[in-house]
Structure 1
Amino acid sequence: MSGEDSGDRAAGPAADGGEGPAPGFVRVRLDLSYDGAGFSGWARQRARRTVQGEIEDALRTVTRSAETYELTVAGRTDAGVHARGQVAHADLPAEVWAAHRDKLLRRLAGRLPHDVRVWRAAEAPAGFNARFSAVWRRYAYRVTDHPGGVDPLLRGHVLWHDWTLDVDAMNDASARLLGEHDFAAYCKRREGATTIRTLQRLDWARGDDGVVTGTVRADAFCHNMVRSLVGALLFVGDGHRGPEWPAKVLAAGVRDSAVHVVRPHGLTLEEVGYPPDDLLAARNRQARNKRTLPGSSCC
């Protein structure tokens, strides 16, 4: 989902190919969270309310700037998806950062709407890029199969599945999807973008409250990947498909009409992982390379 913006924008473009801010700018890391229900996703769009738009507008207002300082984000969440551990960065003029750094959080809290919060704003270490320096993103998808439905206090964050779920079968199927694969069968294709990803963790656990939480961690995710995987695994959990089926869909490499993209409100970006500071720049460069699987040809 791409965003549009008609205003003047100042991203503090990097002088070193994108690894750091331009001279005279300071790269500021922002840690934030939001309830995605009221947003048309992360990315700024004309005439639509987005997380990026709200934060950029608030940042411009509280720093009394005429320009908008563009945010780079670790994970561009879709409409309706929540975040507890989102990370972004903005390159601010050094004089703007010096003038506002001590009161920036409190001023943002007073300006931002209640469904988005910035919890930390700090100068980023050398080589840091919120998107390209990340080594993994961890999401959680929450679903309940209680015959009475979802707890009203959790209805905005938990999906109701009207079939009893076998968590062991879901874990069996999930284990077969781990590793580096072309996830084209579980992604909405985008022009020029690769669908090769390394799925580092995928497992399910039922809590004492009956809510079943799926934990999904990968180096990155392509569009609709998590919600498509969840849709396939719910079919295994309720007995409509066997544990081998999601891996067969993956191997086929094409979208299967039986794989449903589940609703976004059960999905939350929980955490983004970064390497030690001395490896940030190397990871930043490495992540910009388009990947191929062994034996495949690029482009």
Structure 2
Amino acid sequence: MPRMALGVAYDGSFWQGWQTQPSGRTVQDRLEAALHDFLAVAVGTICAGRTDTGVHGLGQVVHIDTGVQRRMESWVRGLNALLPDSIAVQWAQAVPDSFHARFSAASRTYLYVVRNARVRSPMLHGRAGWVYHTLDLARMREAAHWLMGEHDFSCFRSSQCQAASPIRTLQALEIEQHGDFFLFTFKANAFLHHMVRNLMGALLYVGQGKKEPSWMAELLRQRDRRLAAPTFSPDGLYLAKVDYPHEFGLPDSCERAALFSHLGFSLPRY
């Protein structure tokens, strides 16, 4: 049965995360309902990474197996006609059976946007995190240095995490400042449940002067979630990109450029 890969973008503010729930208020539920209407047959979706309630997707990738034939352009326009404004298919491509949206992924990149200002902005509600205490870029960058590479990230893992191992390899952690905005880029082979939001909480503690940068090394060594900072808001978190081997030839998402143009940033390097 032919396999199709889809690039999907969504505003997570309206949804209870990616994974299907009894309420039906998830991105997966809504996408599968649209696929059912489009193909006139029920199909299941496999995604590259499950996002939490309120987390956005700029470069989510899913695959489905179906014997129904459609033109590539029809996959995009036809599905988008059946989806709400907060979800849109960006591209569609036929892939070999060896492709798997989750297991074929070489890395995932998440972005977190934080606005650092004394007063919150209603225009950015749900789209950027907000911190009113002054943040120190140099301190956060120093803290990030301790997190790079392969570690046991138990201290940044949700108690509900179902991953078999807490070992992950953080390939990149870059922090940039653009006026009142801070942009955090996290790239890893895979992430634990709430890992990015928990890392954000700790980095922001350091940035506000509540902890020293070397605190990150202590947390990694102690492997105790109770000793770390609280989980930070999902509002400014975006699943930005999923990397696959070049042999699959998947296109890139176009939604990242739109986001950064809106916020006045240049596109990050990842």
Same topology, TM > 0.5: yes
Aligned to 2:115: 144
- Structure showing greater radius of gyration is 1
2:100 is the alignment partner of 1:129: yes
Correspondence 1:172 to 2:142:
yes
Q: Is the 8 A contact 2:163 2:192 kept in 1?
A: no
The alpha carbon displacement at 1:128 in A equals 1.1
Cα distance per residue 1:9-62 (max 9 Å; x no partner): xxxxxxxxxxxxxxxx11100001000011111011112400001011100101
2:31 counterpart (30, 49, 55):
55
For this pair of structures, how many residues does the alignment match? 249
One-letter amino acid matched to 1:103: S
The CA distance in 2 between the partners of 1:60 and 1:237, in whole Å, is: 47
List per-residue Cα deviations over 1:189-228 (Å, max 9, x = no partner).
Answer: 43562111000011211114x2101110100001010000
Q: What per-residue deviation string (whole Å, max 9, x for no partner) do you get for residues 61-115 of structure 1?
A: 01122xx21111001001110010111100112xx1x246552221111110110
Tell me whether 1:75 sits opposite 2:45 in the alignment: no
Superposition deviation, residue 155 in structure 1 = 2.1
CA separation of 1:279 and 1:268: change in aligned 2, threshold 3 A? closer
8 Å contact 1:145–1:164 — kept in the other structure? yes
What is the CA distance between 1:276 and its match in structure 2? 2.2
User: Aligned pair 1:110/2:81, yes or no?
Assistant: yes
CA contact (8 A) 2:119 2:132 kept: no
C-alpha separation between the residues in 1 aligned to 2:236 and 2:102? Answer: 23
Secondary structure of the residue that 2:186 maps to in structure 1? strand
Taking the aligned partners of 2:218 and 2:236, their CA distance within structure 1 comes to 25
Paired AA for residue 87 in structure 1: V
Q: Distance in 2 between matches of 1:147 and 1:76?
A: 33
Instruction: Tell me the residue number matched to 1:242.
Output: 212
Larger mean CA deviation between 124-133 and 43-52 belongs to 124-133
In structure 1, what is the Cα distance between the partners aligned to 2:249 and 2:10? 29
Please identify runs of 4+ aligned residues in structure 1 that moved more than 4 A. Answer: 99-102
Unaligned runs of 5+ in 1: 1-24, 281-299
What's the counterpart of residue 17 of structure 2?
41
- Report % sequence identity: 39
Cα separation, 1, equivalents of 2:228 and 2:154: 15
CA contact (8 A) 2:54 2:126 kept: no
Instruction: Check the 8 A contact 1:249/1:256 in 2, yes or no.
Output: no
Distance 1:160 1:191 in 2: 29
1:279, 1:61 → 2: CA distance?
Answer: 28
Letter in 1 for 2:206: V
2:63 maps to what in 1? Answer: 89
Task: List aligned pairs for 1:1-299, cutoff 5 A.
Answer: 25-65=1-41, 68-93=42-67, 96=68, 98-99=69-70, 101-150=72-121, 152-189=122-159, 190-191=161-162, 193-208=164-179, 210-277=180-247
- Tell me if the contact between 1:145 and 1:163 (Cα under 8 Å) persists in the aligned partners: yes
Asked if the contact 2:219/2:227 (under 8 Å) is kept, the reply is: no
Within 1, Cα distance between the matches of 2:249 and 2:146? 31
Please tell me the root mean square deviation across aligned C-alpha atoms, in Å.
1.8
**SS of 1:138's equivalent?**
strand
The alignment partner of 2:147 has SS state of coil
TM-score (norm 2): 0.88
TM-score (norm 1): 0.79
Cα deviation per residue 1:213-270 (whole Å; 9 max; x = unaligned)?
1110100001010000000000000000000012211111111344110011110011
Q: How far did 1:126 drift? A: 4.8
